[in-house]
Structure 1
Amino acid sequence: MTKHYRWNDDNIKEMLMELPEMKDTRSRDEVWQSIHLHKKKKRKQWIVPTVAALASLFFIISFVQNRDQNQDTALQFDEASLLEESSAKEEALDMAPFSSGKDLNTVIDEEPLVIYNNQQQIVTIGFLEKNRNVIVPISFIGNDVEPIENQMQGFLNDFNGEVYGFQPSIFQSMEIESVNDTVTLEIDEEDSSHLPKDRTTFQELMRETFRWKNFDKIKLYTNNEPGIELSSGKLFEIEIDKLLKKAYFLLPLNERSFLVPTKKSYQSVDEAFHAMRNGDGQVNDSLIPTILQPFLIEKVEKDGNLLTVSFKNEENYVDEKRVTIMIEAMLMTAKEFGFEYVEFKGLEDLMIQKYDLRNPIEVPYSPNPLYVYN
């Protein structure tokens, strides 16, 4: 039989006095970030109040409030004001989540944005974002055994893209076959209504899926007949260019942020970097420029497969997370122009855990790795 204890004021006071002293050495920003991330997780909590528990809680609160006001408190900051500040910031972001005025200083993201390892096993699929007509390439770890079409279907069966704000993948209603350097896609006419009707969007979606492998051409069929009907007429084949000369911006969505290539191609990598720092009126205004304002690009030099970018850090900016986003966006952009390594001069003193900025850095294989667990 369970023994019931009767609590009184003296019992509780003695227990409180025996608790070890606690001090919070975090900065104001660290406390705010901790509160913000805790709210973001949205974990379910089951609370079963009882009369005794509520009475004890009321006494503890009263006891703490009546303690000596001159004693140093355990927390050095007013968390109520921080919560109010957090709510105000989130409300502002909810009201205008993708305004063109956003920059990297509004983004805190722990997820990896590029992938390097096991290059032969990586498979990438382009997804169309629901509301902004932006194509997001998503990468996952595949294998060297199955054909790419089997791996794509397996991933799509397990992946819930709507969680991130993606439209259902058009590849789920297609039959895919790959032979050597050619991919064949076939769709039933009744399913073709789900395809993007804009020719450019459809072609970009295909290229962002198959250009990462050694494919040169896509052949399209409907009900065993050549061609797929789009708003501008039938499309029969798509040539796959590996180097599309895009710039990489950041797209924040429901659960995380993604690096996305622009629809627009640029004449040079210098021009692409300029757009990534200063913005571009022809780029979707949902996208955030990825080169931080404190970093002034003084010179861009090309030497074979090596690109050297010389910076001036005008404000001694040291935020590791946002500098890492900038570095990875520039690496992916350099890859778009055929470079294999990038050297970042002027950043050698920055401590970036993921990269050694004292030496040239290899460009990644593809962007936005996601992991699906069955």
Structure 2
Amino acid sequence: MKKNEWNEERIKVLLNQLPTVKDQRSAQQVYKQLLMAKQEKKKNKHWVWPVLASFAVLFLAFLIAPVFFKGNQNASESSESNLQMKEEASTDDSAVTFQKEIEKDAGLEQSSEETNEKSLIVPARDAKRYFTVAFTDAAMASVIPVSIEKSTETENINDIIKKYDKLKLKDLGLFKPPFYDNMKIEEDSGNKEVTVFLSKNDDLSSSAESQWFEKLLKETMKWSPYDRVQIKGNASVAGDLLGGMEEIEKIQEKNAYLKYETDSGERYLMPTEQSFNTVEEAFDSMKIAFGAEQIKPLMPDGLSIESVQSEGHELIVNFSDTKEQIQPADELAMLEGIMLTAKEFGYQQVLFTNLSKTRIGSYDVTKPIDVPAAPNPIKIN
């Protein structure tokens, strides 16, 4: 192969044949582009240090985090402990304040046992929960109405009388006459009438027994919603017993109330046998003890009624000034006996004035009080 010969002339010829290469930019444009390229190069290198610094911060945070959180936990526990102590102290203070308010409102500064005394009446709001049946004392000398709590709303008089043994009423000083076991009672709410069927086995031949039958029947019906009693059975026997009456109309007797105390310490409010023309006369009779030893006056010594005023259905009872101490149980029995007596005369509320206390038992005696529904409640345990 023939070796190419490259001489200077041939190279020039070949170079002249190449296309022309010429930079169309001005000198200022070239300088500007070079300057921008240099700045971009420096800018790209700046990200390294911030990244390294960030890694360093994270590393330090990782090292000190356990110590920080432990310190916060201790501080939090200390704060919670202090808060709990403050709350407990606040609770104790509130309890003391609340107890003082209760004692003030309930009148316990005067007697710590007042609210524990047994009430001897059925409040008006509980009227439908009880049925009142009349019993006697052991000597069959006194009529004592007792309000027995119903187990259900549908219970009738027969059901209530059957509870005598279950409730052990004999142990409470209450006695049931034999004819209660044999007679049957039917109630007619529509006609407000009760029919009593006497049994041939009832021994009511004596006048004393017939009188007790009539007394107990009248006292029982007095507290019932019925207006009359029909008596059936052996017509001749019924006629003989009741003096020819086979029907008894309910009459408002207008009795006063006394206190009956059994030998075992049970207390009852019992109506007087006598009726009165005015409520003032009835109140006067409540100061006197008469009859059996167990019957006590309801007005305690050292306390008397100074005046009585009637305002519609409200009776205002004003007491005379007294500084004598009265037993809470006697004071409560007096108030409830007065309210029952007011009910006998058709009053619906009683307002007591000039008493030394603002509360007696559970009663706020600064305001009118509704008269009771019935006396002597006995609850089913």
Measure, in 2, the Cα distance between the counterparts of 1:192 and 1:217.
Answer: 24
Change in Cα spacing, 1:203 to 1:195, as seen in structure 2 (3 Å) is same
Counterpart among 165, 180, 205 of residue 171 in structure 1: 180
Q: Select 1:247's aligned residue among 256, 273, 279.
A: 256
Superposition deviation, residue 189 in structure 1: 1.6
Q: Which runs of structure 2 are paired with 1:15-164 in the superposition (5 Å)?
A: 110-116=117-123, 117-142=125-150, 145-164=153-172
Change (3 A) 1:265 1:275: same
Matched, 1:216 2:224: no
Residues of 1 paired with 2:239 and 2:141: CA distance? 20
Cα contact 2:129–2:153 (8 A) shared by 1: no
Query: What runs of 5+ residues in structure 2 fail to find an aligned partner?
Result: 1-115
Q: How many angstroms apart in 2 are the aligned matches of 1:352 and 1:218?
A: 39
The aligned length equals: 261
Asked if structure 2 preserves the Cα contact closer than 8 Å seen for 1:294 and 1:313, the reply is no
Q: Among residues 260, 267, 281, which one is paired with 2:277 in the alignment?
A: 267
**Change in 2 beyond 3 A, CA 1:136/1:153:** closer
Alignment match, 2:215: 204
Task: Name the counterpart of 1:59.
Answer: none
Q: Give me the whole-angstrom Cα distance separating, in 2, the residues matched to 1:203 and 1:193.
A: 11
Alignment TM-score, normalising by the size of structure 2: 0.62
Deviation at 1:143, TM superposition (A): 5.7
CA contact (8 A) 2:148 2:377 kept: yes
CA distance in 1, matches of 2:205, 2:237: 16
Secondary structure at 2:364 match in 1 = coil
CA contact (8 A) 1:296 1:312 kept: yes
1:121 to partner: Cα distance: 2.4
Q: 299-308 or 111-120, which moves further after superposition?
A: 111-120
Corresponding residue of 1:371: 379
CA drift at 1:238 = 1.2
Report if the CA contact (8 A) 1:251-1:260 is conserved. yes
In 2, Cα distance between equivalents of 1:372 and 1:194: 35
Paired residue for 2:305, among 297, 301, 304?
A: 297
Task: Indicate the SS of the match to 2:118.
Answer: coil
Aligned to 1:118, the other structure's residue is in SS state helix
Whole-angstrom distance in 2 between the partners of 1:195 and 1:206? 17
How far apart are the structure 2 equivalents of 1:329 and 1:196?
31
How far off is 1:131 after superposition?
Answer: 1.0
- Return 285-294 or 330-339, whichever deviates more: 285-294
> CA RMSD, aligned part only?
2.6
Q: Aligned-pair distance for 1:193? A: 3.6
CA shift digits 1:37-69 (9 cap, x unpaired):
xxxxxxxxxxxxxxxxxxxxxxxxxxxxxxxxx
Distance in 1 (alpha carbons) for counterparts of 2:242 and 2:231: 15
**Are residues 154 and 234 of structure 1, via their aligned partners in 2, closer, same or farther at CA, if it must alter by over 3 Å?**
same
Larger Rg: 2
Q: Residue in 1 aligned with 2:18?
A: none
Which amino acid in structure 1 is aligned with residue 224 of structure 2?
A: K
Give the direction of change, closer, same or farther, for the CA distance of 1:249–1:296 in structure 2 (3 Å limit): same
Question: Alpha-carbon deviation of 1:167?
Answer: 2.8
**Whole-angstrom CA distance in 2 between matches of 1:315 and 1:262:** 29
Higher helix share: 2
- Measure, in 2, the Cα distance between the counterparts of 1:307 and 1:190: 47
- List gaps (5 residues or longer) in structure 1: 1-108
Aligned amino acid, residue 211 of structure 1: K
Q: Distance in 1 between matches of 2:280 and 2:210?
A: 29
Q: Provide closer, same or farther for how the CA distance between residues 227 and 211 of structure 1 changes in structure 2, counting only shifts above 3 A.
A: farther
Task: Give, in whole Å, the separation in 2 of the partners of 1:168 and 1:308.
Answer: 38
* Mapped partners of 1:141, 1:231: distance in 2: 31
Question: What is the SS of the residue equivalent to 2:335?
Answer: helix
Output one character per residue of 1:80-121: Cα deviation in whole Å (capped at 9) or x when no partner. Answer: xxxxxxxxxxxxxxxxxxxxxxxxxxxxx9433111142122
> What pairs up with 1:274-353 in 2 under 5 angstroms?
274-277=284-287, 279=288, 286-347=294-355, 349-353=357-361
